[in-house]
Amino acid sequence: MALPLPPGLTPSEVGFLCEMELVTVIPRQRLESLELLGGPTQPLNPPFPVPLPLWLALLLKRQRRANIQPPAWLNVPSLTQILEFETAETTAAVFSPPPGLPPPTSTAEEEASYLASETLELSTPFLKDTHTSRAQADALPYHWLELSHLVLTHAGDDVEDADAVRRLLRDLREVRMSKLRKGFRVLESGAGLQINGVGGMEVAEVRGFVGGVVDGLRKIGRSREEARREREAEEQENGFGSSSYRDEDDDDMQL
């Protein structure tokens, strides 16, 4: 049956994506490596921490078989620092920068088919160490809001000073949302809005609005845009045309 949802991921689908992120888990009991469809998991050997996908980490946590070690940025000092950046006067127009990216590992090939594994470039949620305890501590990764919500809800006792962290997260969310809304002022019919550092849930939240405004403005401005395109095409034609006129002039001169 066809999917009844409009284009664009729903918040629960963003949450599903976020559950593929790797987090650091401190196992409390042994578990050998499992051959999963998405690749083998690492064997659990208490008390050595291992990276596991969040869905598995939450499953283990719920059954008290493991503890989750929160990502390096999910603590009071890191979040305070990021919040300071977000609220500073000088950086009022931009989000705090996302974690640094490794250089690309692949190149595009003309012949390659769509999504061929030779030309596949990894991205979130499969980037290494964006949500583990070895993540960059001073930057919010793409799934920051979803992941911290899930971790705080299901493994709140693993996060140090969870209430202060929750408060900081709410502040961050509000200040970033208001930035995003301010960014809408520059929305134009042609799209072309750069929002580096935005989070997955934030995209899901504003997608309908931004998409609607951009598309609506485009429909209003369509006649103007078409007129401009025609004018440009005409100017180009005139460019060619004038040379032919000159030819005629030349002919006249010869006569």
Partner 1 sequence: MADIADILASVSGGPSIPQSTLDLQALTRAWVNERTAPELLPYPGELVDRIMQRIATQIEAIEMMNATADPSANFKLVIVQTELERFKFLVRSLLRARIAKIDAYPHHTLAMSQTSPANLSHLESQYLHHHQHLLSSHYHTAFLSSFPQGLRKLDDTAGGISMVDKPDEDTAVFCRILRDAGQVEIQGEQGVGVVELHRGDIWVLRWRDVREGVERGDIELI
Hey, which residues between 120 and 179 contact partner 1 (CB under 8 A)? 120-123, 125-126, 133-134
**Burial of residue 68, with CB atoms counted within 10 A of its CB: 0-12 exposed, 13-18 middle, 19 or more buried:** buried
Cβ atoms 195, 180 nearer than 8 A = yes
Name the residue nearer to partner 1 (CB basis): 70 or 200. 200
Going by C-alpha positions, the residue among 104, 89, 206 that lies closest to residue 195 is: 206
Is the bond leading into 125 cis (omega within 30 degrees of zero)? yes
Query: Shortest approach of partner 1 to residue 91 CB, angstroms?
Result: 17
Q: Work out which of 12, 90, 93, 117 binds partner 1, going by CB under 8 A.
A: 117
- The interface with partner 1 within residues 192-251 (CB under 8 A) comprises 192-198, 200, 203, 207, 210-211, 214-215, 218, 221, 225, 228
**Among the residue ranges 80-88, 119-127, 145-153, 160-168, the one whose residues contact partner 1 (CB under 8 A):** 119-127
Q: Work out which of 84, 157, 174, 188 binds partner 1, going by CB under 8 A.
A: 188
Name the residue nearer to partner 1 (CB basis): 168 or 200. 200
| Sequence-separated (6 or more) residues with CB below 8 Å from residue 48 | 27
Query: How many Å is the Cα radius of gyration of the chain?
Result: 26
Query: Shortest approach of partner 1 to residue 140 CB, angstroms?
Result: 13
Is 93 one of the binding residues for partner 1 (CB under 8 A)? no
Name the residue nearer to partner 1 (CB basis): 134 or 154. 134
Name the residue nearer to partner 1 (CB basis): 137 or 221. 221
Is 114 one of the binding residues for partner 1 (CB under 8 A)? yes
Q: Letter for the amino acid at 143? A: H
Query: Shortest approach of partner 1 to residue 159 CB, angstroms?
Result: 18
- The interface with partner 1 within residues 32-61 (CB under 8 A) comprises 34-40, 47-49, 55-56, 59
| Sequence-separated (6 or more) residues with CB below 8 Å from residue 73 | 79, 82, 135, 136, 137, 138, 139, 140, 141, 144
Cβ atoms 20, 125 nearer than 8 A = yes
**Among the residue ranges 15-23, 146-154, 162-170, 238-246, the one whose residues contact partner 1 (CB under 8 A):** 15-23
Site size for partner 1, by CB under 8 A?
A: 72
CA distance 137 to 73: 4
CA distance 96 to 176: 9
Cβ atoms 193, 183 nearer than 8 A = yes
